[in-house]
């Protein structure tokens, strides 16, 4: 009887521990991504889901997941900056929105604004950020351009009022040039550079939030 009670306690403890260790939504390694189904190889890039319609008919269709596959070597292999795997996932997810048109207050592929793009991408990996670029600029640690890394947030003052009103996600650093993805009012979600006169003139600050 004592042995039976002890076995039950061990089993219950194991179940509780398992539940606790799987609760985290942030993936920081390739192995974790594979377990959670975020990473897949190029042979299994889609999954099939069933949708039940009002008339009880069943329809199957492929559904794309956020993932990094074997065809995109630069997204998960070690690079010279030793970029964290989570940062590579964020950049990959942001790139999925390239070409989406600009829409004030938008957070979907139907339209996005600058802070909508950044907050939506981070939320995909369970990281909450303020909704506005002004408030977002208060999060994390402010760093210099010399310290910039992929995954940092870059802010601008483009309204002529000396107030931060635009944000982008840093995706690449080339010497003294910073490449970032953002939602432009005129061109939608695009990649831009601090070498461009407009962004060089209106640069405000860089924050590290990870």
pLDDT tens-place string over residues 21-35: 333 445 555 566 665
Give the C-alpha separation, 186 to 106, whole Å. Answer: 15
pLDDT tens-place string over residues 48-98: 333 333 333 333 333 333 444 444 444 444 455 678 999 999 999 999 999
Active-site amino acid positions: 114, 166, 182
Tell whether domain 101-210 is in CATH 3.90.1720.10. yes
| 34: Cα separation from own chain's centroid | 17
> What pLDDT is stored for residue 37 in this prediction?
55
Banded pLDDT at 144 (limits 50, 70, 90): very high
Give the C-alpha separation, 173 to 190, whole Å. Answer: 16
Q: What's the angle, vertex CA 197, arms to CA 151 and CA 152, rounded to 5?
A: 10
Banded pLDDT at 145 (limits 50, 70, 90): very high
How many percent of the chain have pLDDT more than 70? 61
The full set of domain ranges for the chain reads 101-210
- pTM, two decimals, is 0.65
């Amino acid at each position: 009887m004592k042995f039976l009670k002890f076995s039950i306690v061990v089993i219950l403890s194991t179940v509780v521990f398992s539940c606790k260790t799987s609760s985290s939504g942030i993936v920081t390694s390739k192995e974790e991504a594979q377990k959670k189904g975020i990473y897949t190889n190029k042979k299994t890039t889609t999954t099939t889901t069933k949708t039940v319609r009002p008339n009880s008919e069943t329809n199957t269709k492929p559904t794309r997941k956020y993932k990094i596959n074997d065809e995109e070597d630069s997204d998960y292999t070690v690079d010279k900056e030793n970029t964290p795997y989570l940062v590579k996932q964020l950049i990959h997810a942001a790139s999925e929105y390239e070409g989406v048109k600009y829409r004030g207050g938008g957070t979907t592929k139907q339209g996005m604004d600058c802070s909508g793009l950044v907050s939506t991408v981070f939320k995909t990996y369970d990281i909450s950020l303020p909704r506005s670029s002004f408030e977002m600029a208060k999060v994390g640690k402010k760093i210099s351009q010399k310290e910039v890394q992929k995954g940092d947030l870059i802010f601008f003052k483009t309204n002529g009022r000396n107030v931060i009103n635009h944000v982008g996600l840093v995706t690449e650093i080339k010497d003294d040039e910073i490449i970032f993805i953002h939602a432009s009012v005129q061109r939608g979600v695009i990649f831009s550079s601090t070498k461009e006169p407009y962004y060089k003139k209106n640069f405000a600050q860089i924050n590290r939030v990870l």
